Structure 1
Amino acid sequence: MGALSGKTALVTGGSRGIGRAISQRLGRDGARVGVHYGRDEAAAKETVSEIEAAGGHAFAVRAELGVPGDAEALWSAFDEQSEGLDILVNNAGINKALDGTLKPIGEVTVEDFDHLFAVNTKAPFFIVQQGLTRLRDGGRIINTSTGLTRGAAKPELITYAMTKGAIDVFTSTLAKDLGRRGITVNAVAPGPVDTDMNAGWLRGETNTEAQQRVRAISPLGRIADATDIGDIVAFLASDDSRWVTGQWIDATGGALL
């Protein structure tokens, strides 16, 4: 019996990167995992297959976020395969403008701003709002934030950091509101993590300077792996975290010390 046996989880953006690591860990702990994805069906199927190959249970949930009706589409797809929910992980997010670049304030367009907030802030808000009737008492909500909301400012990530600042407020306020139902709400805030999203600047022999810089910001002297974040989320999803709520969990490897 795993720590999450008999539980059902939904991980948004659960097919790749940090989301995949979260999905896999929750599956190993016994949860039946809904692996949400927006467009990459192959990655979602691969994640589901890996969870099942390890003896777990999982299913894919497709819904593009950041578009009208996204929360409704997500829950409709979820309801076709599951009744009720115990763990909701709001992990899906983007950090770049519509053209795939990072921009300081002078270059951010209205469209860029609206897109980032639609995916990172509006979608989690309405996913939770519409999910509360499905989330069982004693459940868990875990949001992905970022070390940028409390660490060194990066001008080229101003809009992204703002979306996650809103998630921090969302987390603490929800925790106060849902405590009466025994539901805990927490945020996990990673720093740089070695994922496909960061591969362009963090992997390979041509990026040794960036790798050294990232290692240096943590007292532990290494680059985070997605499993480092997934394991923290697993703790917050378990009964071991029952007395932790409304918290912003620093998952930067001590980079903010």
Structure 2
Amino acid sequence: MSKKSRKKSSKTPSSIATAKKKAPTKRATTQTKSAKTQRTPATKSTKTIAKAGSHKAASKQLNSSKSASAPAGAKSALTEGQKAPAFRLPRDGGDVISLADYAGRKLVLFFYPRADTPGCTREAIDFTRLADAFTTAGTAVLGISADPLKAQEKFRDKHKLAVPLISDEKHEMLEAYGAWGEKSMYGKTFLGILRTTVLIGTDGKVAKVWRNVRVDGHADQVLDAARSL
């Protein structure tokens, strides 16, 4: 055998061995890529599920907060022409006053946020100033707030008010007449008394409603409306 033949034969086993070694390496690489490919979708699907879950949780929180706040801020559907809601509440001096006490008479109810504050004081003084004119027009006038009786009486005495002041600490009358709801101040929203006035006719029905009242000149407007009934 020639030297060239020996060299070729000696190279052949080596080449075969090398090929065998390389083959498994390629298969391993393929399996590794396959494994990575399988793991990648699983990771993405997990993230997708997590995002979906967090989105549902956020939606529940938003929905629950909306449902909780809606009734609180809802106003009464009190409209002109409907029967005035009945009430029976304490007034300054310790007596109890009710809608039935004014049957057959015209009645003005002015709802104010808080006793002895600037706007409420001007409004109560204006109605007091026109008390005789309202009497001549056959119309009684009552002031209502959520202040306790002691605060109402102090308010009356300090400013010499001549109109009865009703205390509605439980907000029952305020809600019935649509004078209790959401208010905002300095970027914050809260529940409170909405300055409102209601004129009730001799038939016991709501003749006129003033909402978001501006104090200046308001009592005179209400007097004109009472006279026209």
Q: TM-score, normalised by structure 1?
A: 0.32
Please say which structure displays the higher CA radius of gyration: 2
Higher relative contact order (CA 8 A, sep 6+): 2
